[in-house]
């Protein structure tokens, strides 16, 4: 199965949880569908959802919750 790496469209702070006291949107090993929210990127007081553009299985996250992220940086790997 081909492995694909999804990059961040924006610089900012990457959040894997919808709120500090909530579980992560997705974890390694989860199956995801097109349109699923994988995380949030905060920049300029705006939270932009990172939405899956392909379905598959999340193999690995490259960033932890609240890590700083640059545009183009790898967010997660997916098996499609």
Near other proteins by CB under 8 A, which window of 7-15, 22-30, 32-40, 50-58?
A: 7-15
Report angle CA 16, 18, 23 to the nearest 5 degrees: 70
Contact (CB, 8 A) for 77 and 58? yes
Could you say whether residue 37 binds other proteins (CB under 8 A)? no
Quick one: 55 or 70, whose CB is closer to other proteins?
70
In the set 4, 6, 13, 65, which binds other proteins (CB under 8 A)?
A: 13
Q: Indicate the residue among 36 and 42 with the shorter CB distance to other proteins.
A: 42
- Least distance in angstroms from the C-beta of 49 to other proteins: 12
For every residue of 43-66, DSSP letters joined together read: ETTEEEEEE-SS-EEEEEESS-TT
């Amino acid at each position: 199965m081909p492995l694909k790496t999804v990059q961040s469209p924006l610089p900012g702070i990457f959040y894997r949880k919808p709120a500090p006291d909530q579980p992560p949107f997705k974890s390694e090993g989860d199956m995801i569908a097109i349109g699923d929210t994988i995380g949030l990127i905060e920049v300029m007081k705006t939270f932009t959802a990172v939405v899956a553009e392909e379905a598959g299985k999340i193999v690995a996250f490259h960033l932890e919750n609240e890590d700083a992220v640059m545009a183009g940086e790898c967010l997660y790997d997916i098996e499609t």
